Structure 1
Amino acid sequence: MSTTHVIENNKLLIRRLYENCINRGNLALLTELIADDFVGSPGAQGAAEFAKGIATIRYGFPDVQFEVEDLIAEGDRVAVRWSFRGTHGGPFAGRAASHAQVTQTANVIFQIRDGKIARAWVQVDRLGLLQQIGALAA
């Protein structure tokens, strides 16, 4: 398989993650996308832990929709810049639903191994999100 083909497959893998698992809530698909020995932030391991993170976001923001703003790949890495929009309709970070319309941005670098996501490094604007739901003062 050519390097170009591998890179395009890696990008497709990440698009499937955001479109099918996160936006549509198809968490069963994660076993196909996430390596058994996956390590993420902050130390989450495996598909089950990855699913817990998605479930937490979808519970706190039931209408959440992620938009992939940039998707750049080279070698075994895929870099993503995303934003999400949603309504704080459920508990999140110890806060009851505020019904605030929120946005959040992040940058993530994924490492792909044998066609699955093996590692993720995430830089997310959690402070901004907590301020928008009233958990912290602006």
Structure 2
Amino acid sequence: MKKSAILLALILFGISLSFAQNQTEKNIETYSRVWDEILNNGEIDQINNSSFDENVVIINSPENIKGIENFKNYYQNFLTGFSDINFDIINIFGQDDNIVKHWRFKGTHSGDFFGIPATGKNLDLEGVTLVKMKNGKILEEHDFMDNMEFMGQLGLISDAQNMKLIDSVYSAFSSGNVPGVLSQMDPEIQWNEAEGNKYAEDNPYVGPDAVMNGVFGRIMTEHEYFKLKDIELHEMSNNQILATLRYDAKWKNGQAYDAQAAHLWTLKDGKIVAFQQYVDTKKLAESEND
């Protein structure tokens, strides 16, 4: 009798476990299908009471978003703000009514997105969503992603790597590693020397070779030494870095000079795309002609 009771308990446990597994699989299938239709097919009306609980919630800051209509309005921003959307679920798994989704969202910011005008930038971002289901419907979502990366890709804040890149450029220049400096430049970089500087005659220098031949090569040929000192970097908006510094240099056929200067660097996708120099050109000219 005791053995029969144990056997019955095991059978019931197996049935319960199988039912739970089947329900989890159905939840994952429903969830994956719904979001494919909403984002990849642009079917915002799939956010309805057939697939979403009427009390659906997005865990959000500063306050949660509740209810189907508010949920729908929230995600309409993604369809309005981005074109060429490609939403991919990289991995998804669950237990009972809980689902974890690792996703990747790609698109072009071509429209208004939560009040942010189109930037034309491409977005390629990964994140994770914690999901709760109820009776086969989506009840709650909580997204986790790198918001700084999100804003940076749209060009709304500067890339955190910009400061490191420009710092490495000055380090390379100071050590005489000119090829290292050139390697950080975009092939179409536009380099401008300060107006009044003798090297400004062919502004803008387009491309690393033009910068090498028109600026760096001439500096090295015409100077006994040319050093940069007191360099301070200042992060700006729109992926720009401002450097304040001094030139400690001496012309081969002239005098030494110590001149205040500023450099405005513009970066994109990890490369320098523009440079603007500001310097006391009067001091440079007078020292060369003395």
TM-score by length of 1: 0.92
Which of 22, 28, 42 is equivalent to 1:25? 42
CA contact (8 A) 2:89 2:102 kept: yes
Instruction: Using the TM superposition, give the Cα deviation of residue 50 of structure 1 relative to its aligned residue in structure 2, in angstroms.
Output: 1.7
Q: How far 1:95 moved relative to its partner?
A: 3.1
- Which consecutive residues of structure 2, in runs of 5 or more, have no partner in the other structure? 1-17, 160-290
**Distance in 1 of aligned mates of 2:145 and 2:30:** 21
Partner SS state of residue 64, structure 1:
strand
The yes-or-no answer on 1:75 pairing with 2:88 is no
SS at match of 1:2: helix
Cα deviation, 1:71-100, whole Å, max 9, x if unaligned, reads: 011111010000111111112254322211
Q: Distance in 2 between matches of 1:51 and 1:62?
A: 18
Query: Is residue 135 of structure 2 the alignment partner of residue 114 of structure 1?
Result: yes
Higher relative contact order (CA 8 A, sep 6+): 1
Of 124, 139, 148, the residue aligned with 1:103 is 124
Q: Which residue of 2 aligns with 1:7?
A: 24
> Paired residue for 2:79?
58
Instruction: Write the letter of the residue equivalent to 1:6.
Output: Q
User: Which residue of the partner structure matches residue 145 of structure 2?
Assistant: 124
Deviates further, 47-56 or 107-116: 47-56
Identical counterparts, % of pairs: 20
Q: 1:133 to 1:93 in 2, by over 3 A?
A: farther
Write the letter of the residue equivalent to 1:50.
F
Shift of 1:49: 1.7
Unaligned runs of 5+ in 1: none
Contact 1:64 1:87 (8 Å CA) reproduced = yes
Runs of 4+ in 1 over 3 A off after TM superposition: none
Q: Deviations over 1:15-74 (max 9, x none)?
A: 122211122121222211110011112111122122122210111112222100010111
- Tell me the matched-pair count: 138
Shift of 1:103: 0.8
The worse-fitting range, judged by mean Cα deviation, of 104-113 and 87-96 is 87-96
* Rg larger for: 2
